[in-house]
Structure 1
Amino acid sequence: MLIGYMRVSKIDGSQTTDLQRDGLLAAGINPSHLYEDYASGKIEDRPGLINCMKALREGDTLVVWKLDRLGRDLHHLINTVHNLTGRGVGLKVLTGHGAAIDTTTAAGKLVFGIFAALAEFERELISERTLAGLASARARGRKGGRPFKMTAAKLRLAMAAMGKPETRIGYLCKELGISRQTLYRHLSPTGELRPDGKKLLNQL
């Protein structure tokens, strides 16, 4: 069975799925087997796409007008197609840059395999550049990574709260916007300052 998916980004009426619908119907898809979304391709949890994925069964083929209608993030596309392949579902792209993709054929699988290899290569390059950047920053006396969310004001509030037996640590961390790990790196379970906590207050 052929099942079609359509998507446009704007919901203000300036964009319609008419062109996509015509293309999918011309490809032989029954109108009752069409799903659509009015949402950005960067959003993975789209109602129409979720229902479409649920409707697909082994032996079916998901058909899209263009590859970017399925999603704009390459990694999301790769993961989606791997999910479909694992379920025995094919993917066919009618037009655009991904028109050579038809995972129900050997040639289409080869093209998609190249896409997947390029995505993996891109991930490795990003990882290498990140590690190189951190090493360079450390060599210049700077530390990389996300800054701690603990501040002197939050630390004082935590000290006062942890001195009370009724304080619930999980709730306290949520209110302060920090993790348990960050909290206990600065304070002991009884609210006493640890080296990181003393260092933070001494900076003032």
Structure 2
Amino acid sequence: MTNRTESSPSLETPEQSGSVSGHKVGYARVSSPQQNLARQIEQLEAESVDTYFTDEASGSSRSRPGLEEALRYLRSGDQLVVTSMDRCARSLVDLHSIVDELVGKGVSVKFLKEGQVYSQDSTPIATLMLGLLGAVAEFERSIIRERQAEGIARAKQRGVYKGRAKALTDEQVDQARQWVVEGIPKAEVARRLKIGRTTLYAYLNQEPR
């Protein structure tokens, strides 16, 4: 991030950040279509976001069309709301880059888990705290990945590994197909089921039971 005080993001609590003059835009990400976006979407809706974008991709992936669309959508005065730093960025460098880009065009960034809001009202401590919190999030991700790999390996050795749980039940898939037949837009169907559009398409493309 830049060292110039006037463009560095500020460290604020949500209560200190003041009102948002533009739109509140949410962003949620899960690592695979088998995971569910529902919990993150509920948190975003509790923040009264005007709209939200989603991705179903590993945090290490460079292909995050939902985030890219959100970045294009945001304008000066808007606020990007993300449940946590590790949902937004794939690395500490990536986190700095995203926050710098948004703050530079007058958009504030709010991270719910960390309880932080970054904006153009900068303080010298902001860059330091962003780096520290981002580093902690990156470390937590690496520990989680290591534990998951160890757990899967042990489960495979015992012959009990069954893979990820389904994002939708068979009944929900049937309901989704019915809504589509009735002419409801797929984006709205995905919203009702609290899943990403990529996950919805994957289920709709499966052979009916």
Normalized against structure 2, the TM-score is what?
0.48
Normalized against structure 1, the TM-score is what?
0.50
Higher relative contact order (CA 8 A, sep 6+): 2
